[in-house]
Structure formats: C-alpha cells, structure tokens
Amino acid sequence: MSERVEILGVKVDAVTMAQAVALVEELITARKPSIVATANAEMLMRATHDEELHQILNAAELVVPDGAGTVWAAHHLGYEMPERVAGYDLVQELLKLAPKKSQRIFFFGSATGIADRAKAKAETLYPGIEIVGTRNGFFTAADEPEIIAQIQNSRADILLAALGVPKQEKWLAAHKSELNVPVSIGVGGTLDVMAGAVRRAPKWMQRAKLEWLFRAMLQPSRAGRLIALPKFVLKVHASKK
C-alpha cells in the first residue's frame, strides 16, 4: 500500500509512475473489482461540492496524482508527492505491459468510432495486445444492461472508460460488482488522443506543467473550466493549517 495524501478532503496516493503501474498489476492479480481514478485539480475541485464523487474517490483502490496542480497542492500542504502520474501515460504503460502479461483490455467511451481508432493505434504500438471489446460513450439507461453484458462477456482485465468526469467515475462505481473487471479506470480524453482526434501538448509544455493551457488553446470551449484552477489554488491555500 502507498501513502495517501489528503487534498481538499480527497485521499491521493503519493506514487511514482512505476509504483502506480505495480499497484495496478497487483489489483489485476487479486481479481477483485477495483477502481483507479486519475485526480487532477479540476476533479478535486468538483469533489468539494459533489459528495457522490467525493465518496467514490475516497473508496477507490488507487487515486493517482494526474496533473501538476495535484502535485503542487500536496507540496504546498507539506506532503511528499514524488511526481505527476498522468492518466494518459499510465494507460500507455499498462497497454505496453498487457501483451507480456496476456491481459485483456476493453475500450469504452468517446464519440462513435473513436474507441475503434484507438484500438487500431494500440495494436500498432503494442503488437500482440488483446483489445477484447470497444463501445462508444453514447447510451441511455435502456442500453446499460447490454453494455454491461458486453463487458462481462469480454472477460477484460482492464476496462478503460472515457465518459468524462464525473460520469465515468459514477458509472464505474455504480456497476463495479456487475462488471466484475479487476481494474476499471476513468480515462477522460485518453482514447481521443490515441485515436488522433485530439492532440496532446508538446513535451516541452508537459515538462513546463502547461498542458492545461495547451488544452484550453486547442479547445476554447474548455476555457470556462480553467477558472477552476485559480479557485483550486485559493482553496488549497485556505485549507493549509
């Protein structure tokens, strides 16, 4: 078990990428349905006024520090947080390992065709990988039994759910037992990036902790969500004892 750091009431695991991957592998081996969350500043802010999300995150088996804001907050509050564990990069590390471990992966979410394109990309990048199912993220409550059955029948070891925050976390938590997947991860825009539908920030912007700015420039519709960042800084500072 890793040390957990409390940021605005949410317990985040103080892990490196290598440690996060090792913990996910342990969860897969244990075969007990588990949820992995990727906590950035926006998610942590949302959890301050969304009690259901707050409870789901604190019940998750692993919550990685996805975002420079999360790492900054931990340090500001006087805790050790070794590095950022970006959700996209964590997924790539797990996909890279999957063929060697004979692990089965299911891609669920994003717009029509995105999961299939992400599957094709994964098969190119990671020869021998088994993507045992894909499903887009447009569905109604009436479709859910069919989706759950599809995921169950795939016998996936890892379910990647790209439904956006907090829908993906709430859906995974609501159906955790039924799905019976060892590891389910809410991955946001990961499938879109893999499919080539959305570009990721250049490496220099990632290193400079400016990936949030790149996303805002690329998708002006996200600009309003950036208001959460200064609010996050102020809220973290106010919570410091």
Span 70-77, mean pLDDT? 95
Give the type of residue at 123: E
Pairing type for strands 10-13 and 104-109 reads unpaired
Domains assigned to the chain? 4-199 (3.40.50)
Q: First-to-last CA distance in the chain?
A: 26
Half-sphere exposure of 229 (CA within 13 A, CB side): 15
pLDDT tens profile 156-213: 999 999 999 999 999 999 999 999 999 999 999 999 999 998 776 677 766 765 566 5
Considering only residues 63 and 67, tell me which one the structure prediction assigns the higher pLDDT. 63
| pTM (global) more than 0.85 | yes
pLDDT tens profile 4-35: 999 999 999 999 999 999 999 999 999 999 99
144-154 and 167-179 helices cross at what angle (nearest 10)? 60
CA–CA distances in Å: residue 112 to residues 36, 75, 76, 139, 230 = 24, 40, 41, 11, 34
pLDDT tens profile 123-159: 999 999 999 999 999 999 999 999 999 999 999 999 9
